[in-house]
Amino acid sequence: MISVNLKIFLAIITVIYFIIILIAIKKQTMPVKSSVLWIVFGVIMFISIFITPLLSKLCDFIGIEKVSNLLLFCGFMALLILSFDLYKLNYQLKKKIVALGQELALLKDEVKNK
Amino acid sequence: MNNKKILIIIPAYNEEKNILSTFESVKKYKKVKLDYIVINDGSKDLTEKVLQENKINHLTLPFNMGIGAAVQTGYKYAFNNNYDIAIQFDGDGQHDINYVEKLIDPIINNKANMTIGSRYIENISKFKSSFSRQLGIKLISSFIKILTGIKIKDVTSGYRAVDRTIIKLFSLDYPHEYPEPVTNYSILKSGYKVKEVGVNMYARTNGKSSINFVKSIYYVFNVFISILLFNFKPYKEGKK
């Protein structure tokens, strides 16, 4: 079981997380489209804190001893998926930048020779 | 000899000490009518200054993109300017210009879509590369032989010539990582004709090679993976 103190602490962390996301959306440093994913992630975190009996049953079903371990595992998996997603995005952007750089060099040459 | 439009693509990254002598060797070569283009791959040294001061025809990439992207820029240039044959030629002075005629001969006579200048056939080249690199080359070469049934001995050679069909393919899609072995495999696998031609190569006179011992081990494994991955994304205009 998760203690009341830990529940309050996790709830505060989640609220801070929401505030950071909202500020990022407001300042347009994060696109609204991808922010949905982060908000859903926060909502799941928040709900998870208050449904520990259900999570205990899930722990028993999977074979994880403690709910905190389950939360840690879920957090780890979520970060792994997100980092993989960001890695893919990074590679796609790199390819686009290279293609743009090549086009720029070729166009500069065309302009120079006109 | 022929009326084909031929372009030499010379990629150069930090080659301030070699690029002028490479250019002069190309300029002096009169056996075949050639155009040339140097691709300055975002060099941080004085390569750009040397190119400008000597009025050497060149393209400058806005930042260092790697050998694959630099060479592909050359292929895009060749395609846009309707060249019939494109030749890759290193800017570090390792390739011997006197073998250009021999290299393009199978393409002109329609015996090959791509030719590879090889250090390991006909015993022409005294320079054979380091032991670790030769071992890597043999492993990759055997791997390609298993997959295609065709042996290419100098599978990492950057001294190559291609016809108009391959120019188009490379201008559209060219691997930026491990380009030579991967494209050798992909061209063979797509049903095009590849011929290895004995050429002379020199050891680098100035600067350091981009591949060291640790990199060459890492290189082999990455090439294996890249070659296998090609099967998921073959050339669309392949003949097979």
Residues B6/B35, Cβ–Cβ less than 8 Å: yes
Proportion of chain A above pLDDT 90, given as a percent: 28
Region B159-174: what's the mean pLDDT?
95
Q: Using the beta-carbon criterion (under 8 Å), do A98 and B176 form an inter-chain contact?
A: yes
Alpha-carbon distance A81 to nearest alpha carbon in chain B (angstroms): 22
- Residue of chain B minimizing CA distance to A108: B59
Instruction: Please tell me whether residue B198 adopts helix, strand or coil conformation.
Output: strand
What is the per-residue pLDDT for B113?
A: 97
The tens digit of pLDDT for each residue in A4-26 reads: 888 888 889 989 998 998 888 88
Which tokens sit at A8? 């309050």
Beta-carbon pairs below 8 A across chains A and B: 31
Q: Does A105 sit within 8 Å of B73, measured CB to CB? A: yes
Beta carbons of B106 and B115 less than 8 angstroms apart: yes
Kindly report the backbone phi and psi dihedral angles of residue B195, in degrees, each rounded to the nearest multiple of 5, phi listed first: -130, 135
Buried-exposed string B4-39: b where 16+ CB fall within 10 A, e elsewhere: ebbbbbbbbbbbbbbbbebbeebeebeebebebbbb
User: Is B76–A102 a contact, with Cβ atoms under 8 angstroms apart?
Assistant: yes
User: Does B61 contact A102 at a Cβ distance shorter than 8 Å?
Assistant: yes
Among A34-48, A97-111, B82-96, whose mean pLDDT is lowest? A34-48
Residue B175, sorted as left (phi over 0), alpha (psi -120 to 50) or beta, turns out to be beta
**What confidence tens digit (pLDDT) does each residue in B215-238 have?**
778 888 888 988 888 776 667 655
The verdict on A85 touching B (C-beta cutoff 8 Å) is no
**Between B164-172 and B179-189, two packed helices, what is the crossing angle to 10 degrees?**
120
**Nearest-neighbour CA in chain B from A112: distance (Å):** 10
What whole-number percentage of chain A has pLDDT above 70? 98
Length of chain B counted residue by residue: 240
pLDDT at position B212? 65
Query: Tell me: the pLDDT tens digits for A52-68?
Result: 788 888 888 888 888 88
Considering only CA atoms, which of B76, B7, B3, B70 is closest in space to residue B36?
B7
CB contact under 8 A, A101 and B65: yes
A102 and B80 within 8 Å at the Cβ level: the answer is no
Distance (Å) from the C-alpha of residue B138 to the closest C-alpha of chain A? 30
Q: Which of A95, A101, A109 sits opposite B62 (nearest CB)?
A: A101
Quick check: B43 and B55 in contact, CB under 8 A?
Answer: no
pLDDT score recorded for residue B210:
57
pLDDT at position B122 is 84
The amino acid at B12 = A
What are the structural domains of chain B?
Answer: 6-230 (3.90.550.10)
pLDDT at residue B37 is higher than 80: yes
What pLDDT does B240 receive? 44
Which residues in chain A touch residue B39, judged by CB atoms under 8 angstroms apart? 105
Residue with tokens 């980092």: A83
User: Do B77 and A109 make contact, defined as CB atoms within 8 angstroms?
Assistant: yes
Q: Decide if pLDDT at B206 tops 70.
A: no
- A110 CA to chain B: closest CA distance, Å? 10
- B99 against B177, higher pLDDT: B99
Residues 6+ apart with CB under 8 A from B121: B153, B154, B196, B197, B198
pLDDT of residue B205: 63
Q: Do A98 and B65 touch (CB under 8 A)?
A: yes
| Percentages of chain B per state (helix, strand, coil), in multiples of 5 | 40, 15, 45
| 3-class DSSP assignment, residue B118 | strand
Measured in whole angstroms, the distance separating CA B13 from the mean position of its chain's CA atoms is 14
Q: What is the mean pLDDT of chain A?
A: 87
Q: Which residues of chain B does A95 touch, with a Cβ-Cβ cutoff of 8 Å?
A: 176
Average pLDDT value for residue range B18-28: 93
DSSP A82-103: HHHHHHHHHHHHHHHHHHHHHH
Residue B173 tokens, joined: 């899609």
Please tell me the least confidently modeled range out of A30-39, A103-112, B65-74.
A30-39
Q: Is A109 on the interface with B (CB under 8 A)?
A: yes
Confidence of residue A27 (pLDDT cuts 50, 70, 90): confident
The reported pLDDT for the residue numbered B28 is: 93
Q: How far is B80 from chain A (nearest CA, A)?
A: 9
Radius of gyration of chain A (CA): 22
User: Which residues from A are below 8 Å from B62, CB to CB?
Assistant: 101, 104-105
